[in-house]
Amino acid sequence: MIKVLVNGAKGKMGVTVLQALRQESDMEIVGDAEIYDKLEDAIQLAHPDVVVDFTRPQSVYENTKTILQNNCHAVIGTTGLTPQNLKEIAELAQSKQKCALVCPNFSISAVLMMLYAEKIAKYMSSVEIIEMHHAQKIDAPSGTSLKTAEMIAKINPDINNPQFKPATSQHSFIHHNIPIHSVRLPGLLAHQEVIFGDAGQTLIIRQDSLSRESFMPGVMLGIRKAIHLQGLVYGLENILD
């Protein structure tokens, strides 16, 4: 039985994670914490194997360190970790022989979108990303769009080069020379388009998460995989069979 503590348990994602955990025969909810609770105290009281974090970008780094320092595996769905944060988390996780699974998106379809974008990047010369989320989402651009841009640029470092001059606005961000446009509106949940262009042609990939339940198979998979891994694992695509 995998003992799980959910941090951010009263948030919309936290509530959905708790509901999903109750349906799993190999997992047990041993505790929960809210964003204003002291996470270390909750961990020491509950003795979980895994802590799932869906809190806030401004607290996720300290939360992840607290989880690892208390000898638990960390499954992190909160975005906002910087490359330097990830480097330090990787070192801490390895030293503690625990796993820090950091996933910008737990939706299987979103991960497939990123993997296919990575493949397409080998053959197309230009790309832009539009990410659309609910109005309450704090960070922009989204972690998913940043990860998508990183995966594309790794395969094709010259994409959008050398003549490319992206149009920008207060809602745009350039990452690895790839424009990311952010939309925040009521009625949306989580959506992304990756638009590739080349001479006389375009190719668009779109992924839509229509409910928070769409993330739960990925979260449950992450919990099951994390207990067998060590160090930093960045992205759900790294644990898909």
CATH code of 197's domain = 3.30.360.10
Tell me, yes or no, whether 17 and 59 share the same domain.
Answer: yes
Q: Which of 91, 111, 92 is nearest to 103 (CA)?
A: 111
Q: Report pLDDT digits (tens) over 190-214.
A: 999 999 999 999 999 999 999 999 9
CA 195 → CA 72, 116, 133, 192, distances in Å? 39, 12, 17, 10
Whether 227 and 171 share a structural domain: no
38 is catalytic: no
- Whichever domain contains 56, its CATH number is 3.40.50.720
pLDDT given for residue 170 in this prediction: 61
Say whether 171 is catalytic: no
Taking a C-beta distance cutoff of 8 angstroms, is the pair 178, 96 a contact? no
206 and 225 together in one domain: no
pLDDT tens readout for residues 23-42: 999 999 999 999 888 999 99
Q: Are residues 7 and 85 in the same domain?
A: yes
Residues 221 and 139 in one domain: no
Total structural domains within the chain: 2
How much of the chain is in helix, strand and coil states, percent to nearest 5?
Answer: 35, 25, 35
Mean of per-residue pLDDT scores for the chain:
94
Q: In angstroms, what CA-CA distances link 114 with 36, 65, 212?
A: 34, 27, 19
Give the structural domain span for 77: 2-102+213-238
Clarify whether residues 115 and 179 are in a common domain. Answer: yes
40 and 86 co-located in one domain: yes
In whole angstroms, what is the distance from residue 104 CA to residue 114 CA?
A: 11
- What token pair was written down for 59? 């607290």
- pLDDT tens digits, 1-15: 999 999 999 999 999
Catalytic residue among 3, 134, 137, 175: 137
Residues 155 and 121 in one domain: yes
The answer to whether residues 127 and 178 touch, using CB atoms and an 8 Å cutoff, is: yes
Q: Indicate if 219 and 204 belong to the same structural domain.
A: no
Q: Of 65, 73, 98, 133, which is the active-site residue?
A: 133
Residues 18 and 62 in one domain: yes
Residues 22 and 87 both lie in one domain: yes
